[in-house]
Chain A
Amino acid sequence: NAGVTQTPKFRVLKTGQSMTLLCAQDMNHEYMYWYRQDPGMGLRLIHYSVGEGTTAKGEVPDGYNVSRLKKQNFLLGLESAAPSQTSVYFCASSNPGELFFGEGSRLTVL
C-alpha cells in the first residue's frame, strides 16, 4: 500500500499564481487533513474533511480552499499565492485515531 501520497513534492510559485496540491490515500479513511509546518510553529491545521463531500475550516484557513469530491482525494488550492504561504504542507488521513501523514510538499512563493 502507498498510504498517503502528496503531489507535487516541491513547487516554486510567483506571487499571485494559483496552484493545487493533491493528497491521495488508499486506506479508505473517512477523515483527511491539511496542515502547514513552519519553523517554531509546529503543525497548524488549515482545513479538514470528515467524509466525502464535506470540508471544514481549521486554525489557519484564510487564502486556501479545499475539495473532497472523492473519498480518497483531498485537494488544497491556493487561488492567489502570497510569500506568507511559503511552507511545508502535510496531508494526513485517519479512520479516526492515528493520523497517517504524507511525505510533505514544500512550497516556495517568491
Chain B
Amino acid sequence: GQQVMQIPQYQHVQEGEDFTTYCNSSTTLSNIQWYKQRPGGHPVFLIQLVKSGEVKKQKRLTFQFGEAKKNSSLHITATQTTDVGTYFCAGLVPSGTYKYIFGTGTRLKVLA
C-alpha cells in the first residue's frame, strides 16, 4: 500500500544550526502538506505544496516538492528553541478521495 517515509527519525541540533527533514513517498502524490506537533500537542498545519518542483518559504523555513511529486523536504535555517517538536509530512493520495497519508515524522530537539 501507499507508504510515506521520513528521515531522519530524530535530530538533535545546537541552537543556531540548520535542520532538514526529508519525506519520500512510494507513489506520486497530488500534493503534500507539512505539520508541526509540539510535545504533548496536536499536529498544526504549516504549508501545502501542489506543483512539481515548488519551493515555498516561511521566514526561516523552506519547503520543497520534488519534480516527480514523490518527495519533499523541510529546511529550517538557524534553529531556535521554539522549533522543538515533531515535523510530519502528509501526502494526498491521487484517488479523488482526499485521503492524506502521514509520514513517520522527524523529532527535532534544539539544545540551547
Contact = CB atoms under 8 A, between A and B. Distances in A.
A32 to B, nearest CB: 10
A73 to B, nearest CB: 18
Contacts, number: 56
B102 interface: yes
B71 interface: no
A110 B2 CA distance: 31
Interface string A26-48: 00000101010000111111001
A31 B96 CA distance: 12
B48 to A, nearest CB: 6
Contacts of A44: 102
A40 B105 CA distance: 8
Interface residues of A, number: 26
Given A59-B1, A99-B43, A45 B101 contact: yes
B105 A42 contact: yes
B99 A48 contact: yes
